[in-house]
Amino acid sequence: MTTSFSGSSRAHRDDCQYGEAAGRLQETRQFVDAIGLAKSYQFEEAHKKIEEADIEFVEAHHMQTKLLQDEANGHKNDVSVILVHEQDHLMTSMTVKDLANEMINMYEKIQQLGGGEMKIILVCSAGMSTSLLV
């Protein structure tokens, strides 16, 4: 039987998978952070955040592909709850990434449409004390 996780003992392999799940959780957060950046029109930073999170993410995706290929080749993996959990995080992360990219594009459009800046003017008396509110 082959697995893509290093280590001979099952406990060690489970540790690796648990670490993988935590890694995906981290990337999901980064994708959400990227949406937050786009919300305040920091598009360059938003795209950078997605690229950064993507590096590790692609690796995790390869790992999943390998597990699938192994199984297709007749090498059956034993499925642990932690592996299922990891896969769950991977899928969540993938969905959030796609949506984050869409939403960043939407915020870019919103800014172009001028829905971004609100122009407010305060009219003061001669003393200009109202300007303290600005």
Partner 1 sequence: MRQSAEARSINADIKAVGESQLKNHLEELDVILIGPQVRYLQNKIKAQAESRGKVAVIDSVAYGMVKGDKVLDQAIALTK
The residues carrying an active-site annotation are 85
Please pick, from the candidates 11, 55, 113, 117, the single residue that binds partner 1 as defined by CB under 8 A. 117
User: CA-to-CA distance for 134 and 132, rounded, in angstroms?
Assistant: 6
Please pick, from the candidates 1, 72, 81, 126, the single residue that binds partner 1 as defined by CB under 8 A. 126
Please pick, from the candidates 14, 16, 41, 77, the single residue that binds partner 1 as defined by CB under 8 A. 41
Do 89 and 25 touch, CB atoms closer than 8 A?
yes
**Smallest gap from residue 118 Cβ to partner 1 (A):** 4
Using rule CB under 8 A, residue 44 touches partner 1:
no
User: CA-to-CA distance for 53 and 55, rounded, in angstroms?
Assistant: 6
The end-to-end CA distance of the chain, in Å, is 68
∠ CA 5-6-11, rounded to 5° = 85
**Smallest gap from residue 112 Cβ to partner 1 (A):** 13
**Smallest gap from residue 77 Cβ to partner 1 (A):** 45
Region of 47-55, 57-65, 93-101, 122-130 interacting with partner 1 (CB under 8 A): 122-130
Do 71 and 77 touch, CB atoms closer than 8 A?
yes
Type and span of the H or E element at 17: helix 10-39
Could you list the residues that contact partner 1 (CB under 8 A)? 39-41, 111, 116-126, 128-134
